[in-house]
Copies of this chain bind each other. A is one copy, B any other.
Amino acid sequence: QGTRDHAPAQAALRDRLLSAVVSCFKRHGAAAIDTPALELRETLVGKYGEGTKLIYELQDQGGELLALRYDLTVPFARYLAMNKITNMKRYHIAKVYRRDNPATTRGRYREFYQCDFDIAGQFDPMIPDAECLKIVHEILSDLQLGDFVIKVNDRRILNGVFAVCGVPESKFIPACSTVDKLDKVPWEEVRSEMVGEKGLSPEAADHIGEYVQLHGGLDLIEQLLQDPKLSQNKLAKEGLGDMKLLFEYLTLFGITGKISFDLSLARGLDYYTGVIFEAVLLQQEKEHVEEPVSIGSVAGGGRYDGLVGMFDPKGRKVPCVGVSIGIERIFSILEQRLEASGEKLRTTETQVLVATPQKHLLAARLKLISELWDAGIKAEMLYKKDPKLLKQLQYCEDTGIPLAAIVGEQELADGVVKLRDVATREEVRM
């Protein structure tokens, strides 16, 4: 349940999509790494907030207690700490596992690919962060997925908001995961969860509501930097200062048109410490709708400066920022689009079919195809002793093989091969 097989046409489409993502990651100078799908259970616990209950655990069959990885970020942090690496730009494309309620039509699976790009190291503020946003912008533009917006916020700003609204520090993380639901449910519901489940005072909740419903650009950053309460909070001030710097760099990249500083963005994971972001596709407006509607998140990420230190025996920190491309939702969109277009994706790359027009020529076919393979040519033949020529040509048409290399009795006698262009039916002897 919640997993799926990829038939050849889907595997070919996915390959095309992943190639586009990898080529962007390589364009930005990232190296590939790979980590096991299995991690020690203790490595994963306590890193994912409410997601922890969705971790797949392996049965205790003796030996270590294992779990399937939940994302690629925690394994990356574990890898950095284990190998004492303080500086790295890497990408990783692999499957992760979550015992979530599957919603396969919307691209939500229990086994799904993540495509992560991360920059680890002590650098000047916001330079790597800006690059992560540039990458999201490049990938979503390259894939021509329609209009999109990249929301950005900062955990320090959110925590500052909570502080000035009178939320005790112990409730920052629970409050954060409640705010995170604002993109799916209306403020009223979020407010009632804050007051009910999370035990915030109604006044604090209302006060939070005034902030988290704000979104804008540089102007909003300036406004909040002047906010009498928020400007007094050290964390919020730091976050707003960095946000301003980030917008400066994004202006140089020429991508601020798609960026929205959005105080409702919280991200569900525990490990973020600074900038956070999430890209959503906007529905194409068919009727007169006031504002474009989001059809879901297709990329997300942020800064997690404390995670590596959690795996280091001496707690040494390695600041990190990274982005994860939500490839499954994008895949669903591309799949629907391909279906609508009626385009048929070739699932093989075969250049030539070795065929015979008469019986008793299997040996000739086997000899010829062997020569072609040895010369690096992609070649197939039907696995029958005496297939009909029509069947052989039909196979070319069905699978998109452009050429047939035909050996008949005459060709054998003359020491030639007849090469036929399947589409035009033109033939040359060679």
B-contacting residues of A (Cβ < 8 Å)?
1, 3-8, 10-12, 14-15, 26-38, 56-61, 63-64, 68, 79, 82-83, 89-90, 95, 97, 99, 110-111, 119, 121, 123-124, 127-128, 130-131, 134, 138, 249, 252-254, 347-350, 362-363, 366-367, 370, 373-374, 376-380, 383-385
Contacts and interface: CB of A to CB of B under 8 A. Distances in A.
Given A56-B58, A57-B59, A59-B57, A37 B385 contact: no
26 contacts: A4-B36, A5-B34, A6-B32, A6-B33, A8-B90, A10-B34, A11-B34, A14-B34, A26-B349, A26-B378, A27-B379, A29-B348, A36-B111, A38-B111, A57-B58, A59-B59, A59-B60, A89-B380, A119-B383, A121-B383, A123-B383, A138-B374, A252-B363, A252-B367, A253-B370, A254-B370
A128 B5 contact: no
Contacts of A64: 1
Contacts of A378: 26-29
A258 to B, nearest CB: 14
Contacts of A373: 27-28, 134, 138
Given A27-B377, A130-B366, 11 more contacts: A4-B36, A8-B32, A8-B90, A12-B32, A26-B378, A27-B378, A29-B349, A29-B350, A30-B348, A38-B97, A57-B59
A34 to B, nearest CB: 4
Contacts of A28: 373, 378-380
Contacts of A380: 28-29, 89
A142 B276 CA distance: 47
B5 A32 contact: no
B26 A7 contact: no
Contact of A8 (B31, B37, B254, B384): B31
A339 B145 CA distance: 44
Copies in the complex: 2
Contacts of A347: 31-32
Contacts of A83: 5, 7
Contacts of A128: 383
A424 to B, nearest CB: 22
Contacts of A367: 252
Contacts of A123: 383-384
A33 B61 contact: no
A5 B36 contact: yes
B383 A27 contact: no
A50 to B, nearest CB: 16
Contacts of A254: 370
A136 to B, nearest CB: 13
A252 B119 CA distance: 54
A124 B366 CA distance: 13
Contact of A61 (B3, B56, B82, B138): B56
